[in-house]
Chains A and B, each alone.
Chain A
Amino acid sequence: MSRRIAIVEDDPAIRANYADALRKHGFEIAAYGSRPEALAAMKGRLPDLAIIDIGLGADVDGGFELCRELRALSAALPIIFLTARDSDFDVVSGLRLGADDYLTKDISLPHLVARIAALFRRAELVREPQASEETLERGPLMLDLKRFSVSWNGEPVPLTLTEFWMVHALAKFPGHVKNREQLMREAQLVVDDSTVTSHIKRIRRKFLAADPAFDQIDTAYGMGYRWKA
C-alpha cells in the first residue's frame, strides 16, 4: 500500500508541482489549498504524513493552527512545515507546535523526498519497537541511525531530523571541525550560515535541557563546529 501524503499549500503551482514530483516517487498525494478544506478531509482520513505551509492565503498563520489541530488528532503523524518564512521566530513556533521538521521552500525535491523517507522510517520504527543495530555511541551520546533518535546519558533528546543529522555529522568524527557548508550538506539543508548557527544553538539548548553540564559542541570561530573528543 502506497503511503499517503497530504500537502496543504495555497499556491496552486507549487502545490501541483510538489504533488506531481511526489507522485513520481510513488506516494499517494492529497493536495489542499486551505485550512478548513484540509482539516475536513484529514478528519475523515488521516494521511501518513502532512506537509503544511504556514501562510495559507489570507490565513496568515493558518499552518500553525492546522498543525495544532492535526497534532490533536494524532500524536504520531509526521508533520513537516514547508514555507517561505525562514525567521527564527517562525522556526521555533513551528517546532514547538509539534512539527517534526521545518523546511524552507529553498529545499530541492530530492532533499524533500529524502526527508520524507526518513520521517516515514522513524515513524515506522516507533510503531514497531525492536532493538536497533545501527547505533553510534560517543560517551554518553547515543544516536540511533534507524529511528533517528538521540539519547544523552540514556535520556532521550528530542531533536528534529535536521538537528539529528547535524549532530550525527559532528559526532561521527569527534575532534574534526565541520564547517557550516558541510553541516548543511549533511543535514540536507539549503540555508545560510546564520541558520546553521541558530540550529547549533537549538541543539545545544536541547542537550542542556537534558544535562545542564553539556559542553560537547565546540565552536571553532570562522571555521565551524566540532564534537569534543
Chain B
Amino acid sequence: MRVRISLRAKLALVSLVLLALPLAGALYVNEMERFLLEGEERALLATARAVATALHDRPQLLAAAPRRDDDALRREAEQELRRLAQSEGQPVAQPPSVALAREAAVDTGPAQQEIAAILRGVERSSSRIWVVNRRYQVLALAGSLRQPAPREAGGPLQQAWRHAIGWLIQRPTEDFAEALPDDVLATGRDITAALQGTPGTRMRRTPDARAVVLSAAYPIWNGDEVAGAVVVEETTNPIVSLRSAALERLLLLTLAAFAGAGAILIAYATRLSQRIRRLRDEAESAIDARGRIARLAAGSAAGDEIGDLSRSFSAMLARLAQHHAYLESMADRLSHELRTPIAVVRSSLENLELAPLPQEAQLYIARAEEGLGRLNTILQRMSEASRLEQGLRTAERERYDLVPVVRGCVEGYRLAYPNVRIALTLPERRVEVEGSPDLAAQLLDKLVENAVDFCRAGEPVRVILEEQGGAAALGVENKGPLLPADMEGRLFESMVSIRGERRPGAPHLGLGLYVARLIVEFHGGSIAAANLPTADGVAVRARFPVAWR
C-alpha cells in the first residue's frame, strides 16, 4: 500500500526549511563571539603592554628574587592534599585560594611592593595581572579571575526557562578553579614567547574545565634584554554570557517565529486541503446514481488554481452533460425524424399493391414490407425510453402489492416463452410498494426478456421476489455468459449493450435496461447487475423501498 501523506503533513515538512534561519543565527552569534574574543585579547595585550611600559628599564625592581619560604610551601601542599581528600564525592566547596596562599608565601620585599603598587593602578575587577622575572618567578600579582557572581535576573518563569534550556545553551559559571601561576608558568607559551621578546597571547581552560581563560604576556625590557614579563589574564565569561544571552534570545525568537509560521502554514494547508477535498467530493458525486451530471460549486468563484480547476471540471462536466443529453435524446429524435420517410415508403408500397402487378413484383413488395416492419420495431424501441421518461413525469403513484403483479407477469411469460422454464419464488406476505403496477410489469418484462435471451438452453430463468429489511428485492437470474468486467456499472445507461452476437429480426439498442432503471428510480429504488456467486450466470436485482405502513 502506498503511504498517503496529506498536504498538511507535506507543508509541515517543507516548513522545516525554516530551521535554516536559527542555524544562520547561531553561526552569526559564534562569529560575533570570535570578534569579541579577539577584541578582548587585544585589550589584554594593551593592558600588558601598558604595565610592561611602566616597568621598562627598571632592573632593580626585577632583579630582586623573592625568597622562598619552604615551610609555607609544605603547608600549602598539605592543605592541597586535605582539600582533595575532602572534595571527593562532595560538591566542590570553594577551595581556599591557593594562589592567595602562595601570594602569602612570597616574602614581599620593597621591590615587590613597588611592582604591586604599579599593578594595583591598572587592576581591573575581572582580570589578574602578574609579573614574572626571567626565572619564571612571580614577582607580583594583583586581581582575581573570579568576579562577583551576578545576581540571577528575572522572575521564576525566566529562571525556569533558563533551567530548561540549560542543556542547550551553557551559561558561564564563576565557580571554577583559578589556576596556579606556577602551572601556568610551566606550560604557558605566551609567557615563554614574552620572555624571548615577543608579546604572546593564549587561551586555556581552567584545570577543572569550567571556564576559559584568555591571557596575554608582554616582555619587560631592560635595555636590549628581556628582564621579565607582564601577564594579564581574564576569563571569557563576560563574552560567553553575552553569547548565551544572544543565543537564548535567538532560540526564543525562533520558537516564536516557528510557532507563528507553523500555525499560519497549517491553517493555510488546512484551508487548501479542505477546498481540494470538497472539490474531490463534488467531482466524485458530480455524476449521480441516475447518471445525471451536476455542475460543481466548490471554489468556482475563487481566482486561484483550485478555482480554475473546479471551473475546468465544471466546463468538462457541462460538455459531458451535453453529450449525454444528446445521446439520450438522439434515439427519440432519430425515431421521430425517420417516421416521415418511412411513411413515404410504406404508403408508396401500399399504393403499388393496389395496382395490378406481376407475380415477381409482389414478392419484392412483400420483402420490402417485411424490412419496413423491422424498421418500425427499431423505431418503437428507440422512442420507448424517452416516451417512458415523458410518461414518468405525469405518471401517478399508487400503493400496490407487488406479489400479484409478479405472479401475473410470470404466468404471462410462461405462455410467451414456452421453451424456457421460469421458476418463481414469492413471499408469503404482501409486499406493498409505491409506484405504478403497469410500470413494474414493464420492468419485469425487460428483465425477463433479457434473461431469456442470455439463458443457456435447458436452464431455468429464476424470478425471485423477497422482502429484505424494508426493501422489496426483485431478482431475475439466469445461467449463461457472465458480464464483462468493465460493463457492470454501465449496463443501465442509455444505449449500452453487451450483446455480442446479433439475432436477426430482434433489434437491440441497449435501451431495455435503461428503461428498467428509469422504472426502478420512479419507485425510489435501485437496480444492479452482478454475476452469480457460482460464476455461471448473471443476476439482476431491483430493490424498491417498501411502502410506509
Asked if A and B are interacting partners, one says yes
CB <8 Å contact, A17 and B351:
yes
Q: Which of A43-51, A154-162, A218-226 contacts B (4 or more CB under 8 A)?
A: A218-226
**Which residues 317-339 of B have a CB within 8 angstroms of A?**
336, 339
Q: Which residues of B contact A88 (CB under 8 A)?
A: 387, 390-391, 394
**Distance of B497 from chain A, by nearest CB (Å):** 19
Q: With A21-B354, A222-B410 in contact, is A194–B391 under 8 Å at CB?
A: yes
Asked if residues A17 and B348 are in contact (CB atoms below 8 Å), the reply is yes
Q: Complex: how many Å from CA A21 to CA B413?
A: 40
Enumerate chain B residues within 8 angstroms of A110, measured Cβ to Cβ.
Answer: 350
Instruction: Tell yes or no: A24 within 8 A of B by CB.
Output: yes
Q: How far is the CB of B137 from chain A (nearest CB, A)?
A: 127
Contact between chains at B437 and A221 (CB < 8 Å): yes
Partner of B339, one of A17, A20, A106, A191: A106
A223 touches B408 (CB 8 A): yes
Instruction: Please report which residues of chain B, range 356-407, place their CB below 8 angstroms from some CB of chain A when the two chains form the complex.
Output: 376, 380, 383-384, 387-388, 390-391, 394, 404-407
Residue A84 lies at the interface, judged by CB distance under 8 Å to chain B: yes
Which residues of A lie under 8 Å from residue B383 when comparing CB positions?
86
Q: Beta-carbon contacts of B411-435 to A below 8 Å, as 1s and 0s?
A: 1110100000000000000000000
Distance between A225 CB and nearest chain B CB, rounded to angstroms: 10
Task: Tell me if A222 and B347 are in contact (CB < 8 A).
Answer: no
Question: With A24-B354, A88-B394 in contact, is A222–B343 under 8 Å at CB?
Answer: no
Interface size on A, residues (CB 8 A): 33
CA distance A128 to B84 in the complex (A): 149
Chain B proximity of A41: nearest CB distance (Å)? 22
With A14-B340, A105-B343 as contacts: A222 and B351 at CB distance below 8 Å? no
Report the bound CA distance from A87 to B394 in whole Å. 12
Judging by beta carbons under 8 Å apart, are A194 and B343 in contact? no
User: Which chain A positions have C-beta within 8 A of B440?
Assistant: 221
B344 at the interface (CB under 8 A from A): yes
CB distance A20 to B437 under 8 Å?
no
Residue B294 lies at the interface, judged by CB distance under 8 Å to chain A: no
Is residue A85 contacting chain B, with contact meaning CB distance below 8 A?
yes
Q: Tell me which residues from 71 to 121 in chain A have a Cβ below 8 Å from any Cβ of chain B.
A: 84-89, 104-106, 108-110
What is the interface size of chain B, counting residues whose CB is below 8 A from a CB of the partner? Answer: 39
Taking each of B342, B347, B406, which has the highest tally of chain A beta carbons within 10 Å of its own beta carbon? B347
B438 beta carbon closer than 8 Å to chain A: yes
Given A109-B350, A221-B409, A221-B437, A11 and B340 touching (CB < 8 A)? yes
- In the complex, which residues of chain B have a beta carbon less than 8 angstroms from the beta carbon of A109? 347, 350-351
Mark contacts of B445-468 with chain A using CB atoms, 8 A cut-off: 1 yes-contact digit, 0 otherwise. Answer: 100000000000000000000000
Nearest chain B CB to A78 CB, angstrom units? 21
Q: How many angstroms between the C-alpha atoms of A24 and B356 in the bound complex?
A: 12
List chain B positions with a Cβ less than 8 A from chain A. Answer: 336, 339-340, 342-344, 346-348, 350-351, 354, 376, 380, 383-384, 387-388, 390-391, 394, 404-413, 415, 437-438, 440-442, 444-445
| 23 intermolecular pairs with C-beta atoms under 8 Å apart | A11-B343, A11-B344, A14-B344, A14-B347, A17-B348, A17-B351, A21-B347, A21-B350, A85-B336, A89-B390, A105-B343, A105-B346, A106-B343, A110-B350, A194-B387, A194-B388, A194-B391, A197-B438, A219-B437, A222-B408, A222-B410, A222-B441, A223-B411
